A and B are shown apart, each in its own frame.
Chain A
Amino acid sequence: MALMPINGGKRVRIRSIVLLVAGLLFGFVAPVQARVSVFACEPEWGALALLIGGDEVDIYVAATGKQDPHLIQARPSLIAQARRADLLFCTGAELEVGWLPVVMRQAANPNIQPGTLGYLEAAAAVQLREIPNRLDRADGDVHAAGNPHIQTDPRTFLPVAEQLTERLMRLDPSHAEYYQARYGQFVVQWQAALDRWQGQAAPLRGLPVAVHHNTWIYLFDWLGLRMVVTLEPKPGVPPSSGYLSEVLAKVKATPVRMTLRAAYEDERPAKWLEQHAGVPVIELPATVGGNQRAQDLFALFDDTVERLLKGAGAGDGAR
């Protein structure tokens, strides 16, 4: 507009430009009756937002269930989506530290800055485990706030859903009752599902297992599985052959029933252990979309529990 010569003859044109700019401003910045646009960093939060938000939210998920959440790229599409978001819904606890700050700075969306109503960290709703006593990169990819893989314990979703509902109600007060009702429905269904899963998974209590990455401590908290060894020598560090033979020795001394690995993790170390110690590998969907079946939150834990039970059974057969 600065290039536009300002004189009487052009007044009509200027006015139409002002109108256009005003239209852009209100049309883009505040889509008055539009649905709440949710930017979910990981698929589990996208799935939860869908359960609570229903038809009143538009959800964009930054990663698929087959991606390692530590390694998401700050893709151009993420900047475009974060630019338009009303609510950013992420794990937090530094899980997204490698890409989200760049996306946030580029998108420069004042509605989703940390500390605003549009910024929600799921990790803020739960007590994190494994908060390191010392911070040293020599210990691998440690997170100062604690282990961020909270979505592996389904109980996590209750307090997180509560926070999410609260935010949605405040962001979109005209549908507050709708969100509240859906939240109530979710709590009832989820409680029932929790009881079911816990009943099914009772035989898993105390079962010793190996894991690839320390993704599952919250799951173990819930079902009482016992982690004997990780195939990564340190978080995020791929195992060397020397370390794997240490693992083998440990597994020989303390037998484990199965090795758990997320669908997105390297399969070779777990396979190697299977060949050398006969420990079956169970591939778990770490999140929604982690495999064909785990397409929503309920299916995610249906599938997880079923696979664990199958792994425990297979372990029995081999013995």
Chain B
Amino acid sequence: MLPLRQRGSAVIAAVCSMMTAQPLFAMSEAEFSQLKQAVEQLKKKQDEDTRRINELEWQLKQAEAGAKQPVRSAGNGLEKSASVDPFAPTGFAGGTSAAQGSRSAHAPQAGNSFNPAMGVTLMGTLGNFSRNPEAATVPGFALADESGSAGTQGFSLGESEISLSANIDHRLYGQLTMSLDGGGAAEVEEAFIQTTSLPMGLTAKGGRFFSGIGYLNEQHLHAWDFLDAPLPYRAMLNGQLGDDGVQIRWTVPTSTFLQIGVEGFRGEGFPATPGHNGLGAASLFVKTGGDIDASNSWLGSLAYYHTDADALSVSNGADLFSGATDMGIAGMVWKWAPDGNGAERQFKWQSEFLLRRQDGLFNGLDYRGNQYGYYGQALYQFMPQWSVGVRYDQVAAGDVSSPLAGTALDTQGHTPHRSSAILMYDTSEFGRFRLQYNQDDASPSSNREILLNYTVSFGAHGAHAY
């Protein structure tokens, strides 16, 4: 059956090679169009043959059907996934498209045919600040090293990201994301393996990855709508919480999306310190979501994070904290598009609420404090390629006892808050320009910030999470 089909393409290939392999042979236009017609006719014939073959094959299969053993046993999902390609022996064009199949038959075997999907993201920003952002503080919060600064003045190269990913085998998927800062320092942002075929809707992930405790936390910086982390993320998660560890998720088999996850971390960096026997921090999260109708969908999440820090360096090394940190995060995302068609207009609401309790010693002094923070943001795409957005974020800490007065934990009677607006223009799915304005009252002295940014990606077409 197959040779017939191959013969057809061989003839076409031969005709094509005749056309291309003799460029010196001057061909008149009439001859050329004749040849073209011949190719068209052959193609048509081939299509007809293919259809006829399909019919015959089908009839043959029907005849064979009685003799064949059913592939699927009465109901054991495990067995099925173990046999990778159960229908291959029947000469079925399975898996990828036929076009790919036919091409790979002629493709030379090269050492790079299993290269992983590769994507690069580039960012650059022009910042104008009414005050130098490097000295920025958030009163009431002892910040980690990376979260103090709200941006860079003037032209600056943002984070450049290189991401590689591929299926490792029939059981595992792997991803590596490296980020290069403007100074050239490379950092492993994420490097993890993840299971693809555990039963019962379970997935396990191990390595370094962004924790699933927050909606924004799971996304890479370049996928955020706004250019900077909201204040509660800055103050309590050091911008974004990534750590080395394991994560297990279970997607509950309900028609409404429900997912439960647990994570155990080494505790590398704020707000944790590496724990004994490897476990420095742990978290638990629940996500749920669904469609309200064709136009509206939503995602909600609740998470809890716990760590016991031992001499955690904060405030750029000026202070030390030892003790327990418990954190709860609640998030809600709502998306709307007319009939669910986001081509022209769409709307997205997103907000998260963070609550934190710390109990321990701050520079050797007894310290027990509660803090909270939240942000809410709305983004509206009013025509293809153009979006506008607004955001408000705020954090608040309780008053501290007198021995701690004057430290970073002292609120100075100020509630840090910020208002932002943004205008976005997408050149395509892969290129985005953003103009953002912040009225930043995180510190008692306010800062007006204007940021102009490009964010582009090239290489593999990464899929977008919700």
Contact = CB atoms under 8 A, between A and B. Distances in A.
Given A113-B81, A117-B71, A124-B93, A102 B465 contact: yes
Contact of B58 (A75, A137, A146, A162): A162
B72 A80 contact: no
A83 B429 contact: no
Contacts of B197: 108, 110, 113
A77 B297 contact: yes
Given A93-B99, A238-B385, A76 B85 contact: no
Given A79-B257, A238-B385, A64 B97 contact: no
A15 B61 CA distance: 48
B290 A76 contact: yes
B428 A237 contact: yes
A75 B466 contact: yes
Contacts of B251: 79-80, 83, 106-108
B253 interface: yes
A125 B47 CA distance: 12
Contacts of B58: 162
Contacts of A35: none
Contact of A116 (B54, B80, B289, B458): B80
Interface in A133-190: 137, 140-141, 145-146, 158-159, 162-163, 166-167, 169-173, 176, 180
A128 B99 contact: yes
Contacts of B290: 76-77, 80
Interface stretch (B137-145, B146-154, B337-345): B337-345
A167 B139 CA distance: 63
Interface string B66-102: 0000111011110011001111000011111111110
Contact of A162 (B54, B77, B98, B341): B54
* Chain B interface size range: 35 or more
B207 to A, nearest CB: 15
B195 interface: yes
Nearest to A159: B54
Interface in A80-133: 80-81, 83-84, 92-94, 97-102, 105-111, 113-117, 119, 121, 123-128, 131
Given A77-B256, A236-B428, A238-B385, A71 B341 contact: yes
A145 B99 contact: yes
A238 to B, nearest CB: 5
B463 interface: yes
Contacts of B7: none
Given A110-B80, A117-B80, A28 B340 contact: no
A100 B74 CA distance: 29
Nearest to A81: B255
A106 B464 CA distance: 12
Nearest to A123: B97
A170 B257 contact: no
A249 to B, nearest CB: 24
Interface in B289-338: 289-291, 294, 297-299, 335
A312 B342 CA distance: 31
Contacts of A246: none
A158 B73 CA distance: 29
Contacts of B202: 108
B370 interface: no
B351 interface: no
Contacts of B199: 25, 29, 110
Contact of A141 (B95, B343, B429): B429
Interface in B12-49: 47
B65 interface: yes
Given A28-B253, A108-B202, A236-B428, 20 more contacts: A26-B75, A28-B201, A31-B75, A67-B340, A74-B463, A76-B466, A83-B201, A84-B253, A97-B461, A100-B463, A108-B197, A110-B198, A117-B71, A124-B98, A126-B98, A131-B99, A166-B61, A171-B72, A173-B72, A264-B341
Closest A-B pairs by Cβ, 8 of them = A76-B289, A30-B75, A76-B257, A173-B70, A110-B81, A110-B197, A66-B339, A80-B257
29 contacts: A25-B200, A26-B75, A66-B340, A73-B297, A73-B464, A75-B297, A76-B466, A77-B257, A80-B256, A83-B201, A84-B253, A98-B463, A105-B173, A108-B195, A108-B198, A108-B249, A110-B198, A111-B77, A111-B80, A115-B94, A116-B85, A117-B72, A123-B98, A159-B51, A170-B72, A170-B86, A171-B72, A176-B65, A264-B343
